[in-house]
Amino acid sequence: MSDLVFIGIDLGTSRTSIATSTGQRETIWSYVGYPRDHVAKKHFGGRDIIYGKEALDGRLSLELCRPMAGSSVKRRGAQDDARRKKAIKDLLHHVIQIARIPHGSTIYGMIGAPAEASMEGRATILEAVDECIDSVIICSEPYAVAYGLDFIDDTLVIDCGAGTTDLCRLHGTMPKAEDQRTHEIAGDSIDQELARLVREAYPEAQFSINMIRAFKEKYSSVSKRMDPAIVSMPVAGRPQQFDITELVFKACYTLVPPTVTALQELIATYDPEYQEKMRSHILLGGGGSVIRGLGLAIEQALEEYGGGHVITVAEPQHAGADGALKFALDMPAEYWNEFRSIRSLEMAAT
């Protein structure tokens, strides 16, 4: 009988993480690249597919794909063409490969998806892993984060990703559709807003969206006492220094109002006897949680609704995968057997 290995995957727009019951934890950037021609293929050592940061850095020689951005997994109503489906499949296969699971193992996997992911998006995930995972269940990303930290009773979870910000209301049982919210003000939209503000303030500066993303990741803050953000951008080919401190603050703060609105909706529609407890038990995770001062800014914005208390996840990059793994390990065997035999989508709404 083959060994049984459980895995948890956080399939992110920006980064994808995996945790396994064999003790492996890996994270890669969610990029897949295909060499443009035989010269490019030779440049990459004869490989047909390049992954992660290496693909991003070598993008001028590659047909670069960021498969989760704009996919049906992340956005309702989106359609995945054959190229995107292949890239999602290649990314997932690679993530499982780098986890160094013993050959011949039976693999049971829990994969996190946005709180309101469509059935089409879930079907795309199941199709992508059909050849490499023996049984798979799709769970809500914010639920996985909370489950991994044992925050599953009267808790509001915020999972700030690159493509979406997902929120989930937990009350000691599996969340239902009415317990979840998703909005699209997230890491990518912050990048676009920062690019717009920089272009408006410094029209002479030359930059790419990847430069803007790097600026944001280095200086992101919604604190009124944030450190100065002084960056270098070329002007007519010559590097110059620019102060984008206020612009970074404004771009990052766009995340706060829609998140507070969604939080208040989840609080207001909850049992009134438990609303105060839930308001004081908010868990902030995802890549966006590293924005300096974000938890405090959300607390301050909640004051007009009665206040709130936000706890920020210590390891946001791994929290989703770790939580999905813990959920997988705790799942009863009959559930795995059911999914293995019929590949049902019915339970994918958890």
Q: CA separation (Å) from 150 to 143, 147, 165, 332?
A: 10, 5, 21, 18
Q: CA separation (Å) from 317 to 52, 236, 271?
A: 15, 38, 32
CATH code of 4-146+317-349, in short, is: 3.30.420.40
Half-sphere exposure of 141 (CA within 13 A, CB side): 34
What pLDDT does residue 1 have?
42
What pLDDT does residue 116 have?
62
What pLDDT does residue 348 have?
43
**Whole-angstrom Cα Rg for the chain:** 21
**Longest C-alpha distance within the chain, in Å?**
66
E strand or H helix at 156: strand 155-160
Count H helices and E strands in the chain, helices first: 13, 15
Which residues 6+ apart lie within 8 Å of 88 measured at CB? Answer: 67, 68, 71, 73, 80, 124, 125, 128
CATH 3.30.420.40 spans which residues of the chain?
4-146+317-349, 151-185+256-314, 187-253
Listed in order, strand segments (DSSP E) in 25-77 are 25-29, 32-35, 50-51, 62-65
How is domain 151-185+256-314 classified at the CATH fold level? Nucleotidyltransferase; domain 5 (3.30.420)
In angstroms, the CA 202 to CA 106 distance is 55
Which residues 6+ apart lie within 8 Å of 65 measured at CB? Answer: 31, 32, 33, 34, 83, 84, 87
Q: Which residue from 287, 72, 30, 265 is spatially nearest to 160, judged by alpha carbons?
A: 287
Count Cβ atoms below 10 Å from residue 148 Cβ, excluding itself.
24
What pLDDT does residue 344 have?
43
- Residue 230 backbone zone (phi > 0: left; psi -120 to 50: alpha; other: beta): beta
Burial zone of 45 (CB within 10 Å; 0-12 exposed, 13-18 middle, 19+ buried): exposed
In angstroms, the CA 216 to CA 214 distance is 5
Q: Which residue from 10, 29, 28 is spatially nearest to 19, judged by alpha carbons?
A: 10
In angstroms, the CA 88 to CA 65 distance is 9
pLDDT digits 0-9 by tens, 255-268: 999 999 999 999 99
- Residue spans of the chain under pLDDT 70: 1-2, 115-118, 338-350
What pLDDT does residue 231 have?
98
Which residues 6+ apart lie within 8 Å of 135 measured at CB? Answer: 107, 108, 109, 336, 337, 339, 340
What pLDDT does residue 157 have?
93
Q: Indicate the residue type of 265.
A: E
Give the homologous superfamily in CATH for domain 187-253. Answer: ATPase, nucleotide binding domain (3.30.420.40)
In angstroms, the CA 210 to CA 199 distance is 14
pLDDT digits 0-9 by tens, 144-190: 998 999 888 889 999 998 888 989 898 888 788 889 888 989 999 99
